Structure 1
Amino acid sequence: MNSTQSSPVTFFIIQGLASLGEKKMVLFIIFLLAYTIILGGNIMIIYLVRTDPKLGSPMYFFLHNLSIVDMIYTTVTIPNMLSGFLTEVKTVSVPGCFIQMYCFIHMSVTGRALLTAMAYDRYVAICNPLRYAAVMTRPVCLLLIIGAWTFGAICTFPTTSMAMQRSYCGPNVVRHCWCDPSSVRLLVCGDTQVDSIVSLSSALIALLTTGVLILTSYILIGVKIAKMGAAQRLKAFSTCAAHLTVVSISYSSASFVYISYRAIKKVRIIVSVLYSAVTPFLNPVIYSLRNKDTKWYVIILVINQYQRNNSNC
């Protein structure tokens, strides 16, 4: 299949990690297990939040939406990557490529916006506990959720819309495991300097806006905790430990991805692939292990399932 064409491109070839040879099967098994755990963990969280009235607090409402984002985020990339490990040549249509690009960026930004809403929730819970129920009402939570999804769409639109309007006349090999914007941009027939500036600006706005708001929330939380007694400090820290852990992993992983763009292509692809799976993989694990409510519900579900299996036997 020739990668250089004189006519407009109608499909892209996803090169991915084709050069790894036999190691692809090892990666296939690893990412298949990771994807299974991601789906299972997030489905468990969604099920528990929707069915148990005890999990009706704003924190679980935000966590429920974060689980949906993580599932979409990984579903638009990992299944295609897995199929690429099993085939010699992985292709995707031009519209399909841009849909994947849009969903990937949108979910990435929306996830960080939801983490920002959760940081505000933790701020109100620790700094204004007496007014928490009055401030974090259902309409306010819905407004924060809508704002997170809208913010993700706004930050995603410039990059994907400019990419869709460009002409692609060959080559058509995307040197990545999915339709990564920077990799697709290399295939444009023409100058892409403006596209790069717009894409970088959108990414910086998304990262800095959410990052600064989260950092501000935790600075205010830190000031409040410093004035508390030892027992209150421990309780306040346990309240935001899971969220702070997820935020730290998410933003440190994103930093490694942007730093890796100056590295060799294979290293950049591997770092980007790991980043796309690490945070969604760890989110349900961290929130389940750090929170006593979900931890006990999981144990109860496992015991009930075990008892049902024994009764069937």
Structure 2
Amino acid sequence: MQQNNSVTEFILLGLTQDPIRQKMIFVIFSIFYVGTVVGNLLIIVTIKSSRTLGSPMYFFLFYLSLADSCFSTSTAPRLIVDSLSAKKIITYNECMTQVFALHLFGCMEIFVLILMAVDRYVAICMPLRYPTIMRRQVCTILIVLAWIGSFIHSIAQIILALRLPFCGPNLIDHYCCDLQPLLKLACMDTYKINLLLVSNSGAICSSSFVILMISYIVILHSLRNHSAEGKKKALSTCTSHIIVVILFFGPCIFIYTRPPTTFPMDKMVAVFYTIGTPFLNPLIYTLRNAEVKNAMKKLWHIKITSESKK
């Protein structure tokens, strides 16, 4: 599948070439990445350890946090390390691996957000049938299908990337490897490949966003028949989900649903959905969710108490 290439490595230009700004990038994104990993791992451990967070919503939140951690890890560590490197070199194989990981976990996040919307729709619009429809076996099957769908999507992306011949230059005007910056370096007409990219990644982003927005509009409309307390709880949950959807899908749609043109803000937009959103998700889901906060308090209270007894 791989074309004959005279290029065996690429040089990432990163976010900036200014030494002072590179040091700032190292500090800022180190904080972001550590916060992302710690925040999402905290949610993962809390959900796994707490008996009160056994509902399907938290089952899906567990996998969203897992996808967030892996998605951020596919780009953030290299950006952080490269910010202190004089020459930001990435080998061809490492570049292809990054393309695969970026799309695998990014697509998984999209599918999990859809499953969370389905869960909220069934819980609010069909409460009596909720325990039957959203059984643990059904949720497990849905997650397995999400992983399979994400894998198929990332395989499609890596096939497109491997078909690109590179004969120089090897300067990628980005901080990570993705199909858009790679298309600019390919020694061939990339018009058809770009169409495939838009019809794949672009279609997934756009259609998923539309489906999610319609589902939440239906959910919010149905809340008019609920009690004041039930309406408040459902609104809090749905608002968190809607914020996450807008923060993630806005930049994705901007990047993947347009002709192969370059804008100055492209790299910063990519930073927002690959690093910024995974950092914000734990904050959104914990600060706006009383059940998660209470479960975390109980979990760490038990751990601290057990440690003090030792």
Match status 1:91 vs 2:89: yes
Cα offset for 1:123?
A: 0.4
Residue 186 of structure 2 aligns to a residue in which SS?
Answer: coil
Match status 1:208 vs 2:200: no
Q: Which residue of 2 aligns with 1:123?
A: 121
Cα offset for 1:300?
A: 4.2
Residue 171 of structure 1 aligns to a residue in which SS?
Answer: coil
Within-5 A mapping of 1:73-92: 73-92=71-90
Cα offset for 1:120?
A: 0.2
8 Å contact from structure 1 (residues 257, 275) kept in 2:
no
Q: Please give the per-residue CA displacement for 1:119-156, whole angstroms capped at 9, x wherever unaligned.
A: 00000110111111111011110121122222222333
8 Å contact from structure 2 (residues 120, 238) kept in 1:
yes
C-alpha spacing 1:7/1:150, structure 2 compared with 1 (3 Å): closer
8 Å contact from structure 2 (residues 64, 109) kept in 1:
yes
Match status 1:65 vs 2:63: yes
Q: Please give the per-residue CA displacement for 1:163-198, whole angstroms capped at 9, x wherever unaligned.
A: 112221111111100102111111111111111111
Give the distance between the partners of 1:252 and 1:76, measured in 2 at CA. Answer: 20
Question: Number of residues paired by the alignment?
Answer: 306
Q: Which residue of 2 aligns with 1:238?
A: 236
Give the distance between the partners of 2:183 and 2:238, measured in 1 at CA. Answer: 40
Give the distance between the partners of 2:27 and 2:42, measured in 1 at CA. Answer: 22
Match status 1:38 vs 2:51: no
Residue 92 of structure 1 aligns to a residue in which SS?
Answer: strand
Match status 1:51 vs 2:46: no
Question: What fraction of aligned residue pairs are identical, expressed as a percent?
Answer: 33
Cα offset for 1:73?
A: 0.5
Give the distance between the partners of 2:158 and 2:46, measured in 1 at CA. Answer: 35
Which of 25, 30, 33 is the equivalent residue of 2:23? 25
Give the distance between the partners of 1:24 and 1:173, measured in 2 at CA. Answer: 18
Structure 1, gaps ≥5 residues long? 1-5
Give the distance between the partners of 2:188 and 2:262, measured in 1 at CA. Answer: 25
Q: Please give the per-residue CA displacement for 1:215-261, whole angstroms capped at 9, x wherever unaligned.
A: 23223213311333444422331242322221122223334546998
Opposite residue 179 of structure 1, the aligned amino acid is C
Which of 129, 133, 136 is the equivalent residue of 1:135? 133
8 Å contact from structure 2 (residues 202, 256) kept in 1:
no
Which of 182, 194, 202 is the equivalent residue of 1:184? 182
8 Å contact from structure 2 (residues 286, 292) kept in 1:
yes
Opposite residue 59 of structure 1, the aligned amino acid is M
Give the distance between the partners of 1:123 and 1:220, measured in 2 at CA. Answer: 8
Opposite residue 152 of structure 1, the aligned amino acid is S
Cα offset for 1:301?
A: 5.0
Give the distance between the partners of 2:304 and 2:115, measured in 1 at CA. Answer: 37
Residue 130 of structure 1 aligns to a residue in which SS?
Answer: coil
**Superposition TM-score, scaled by structure 2 size:** 0.90
Which of 262, 280, 286 is the equivalent residue of 1:282? 280
Give the distance between the partners of 2:221 and 2:306, measured in 1 at CA. Answer: 50
C-alpha spacing 1:172/1:73, structure 2 compared with 1 (3 Å): same
C-alpha spacing 1:38/1:49, structure 2 compared with 1 (3 Å): same
Structure 2, gaps ≥5 residues long? none
8 Å contact from structure 1 (residues 45, 67) kept in 2:
yes
8 Å contact from structure 1 (residues 158, 198) kept in 2:
no
C-alpha spacing 1:270/1:241, structure 2 compared with 1 (3 Å): closer
**Structure number having the greater helix percentage:** 1
8 Å contact from structure 1 (residues 11, 92) kept in 2:
yes
Give the distance between the partners of 1:78 and 1:186, measured in 2 at CA. Answer: 23
C-alpha spacing 1:45/1:187, structure 2 compared with 1 (3 Å): same
Residue 94 of structure 2 aligns to a residue in which SS?
Answer: helix
**Superposition TM-score, scaled by structure 1 size:** 0.89
C-alpha spacing 1:229/1:53, structure 2 compared with 1 (3 Å): closer
C-alpha spacing 1:228/1:301, structure 2 compared with 1 (3 Å): closer
Q: Which residue of 1 aligns with 2:169?
A: 171
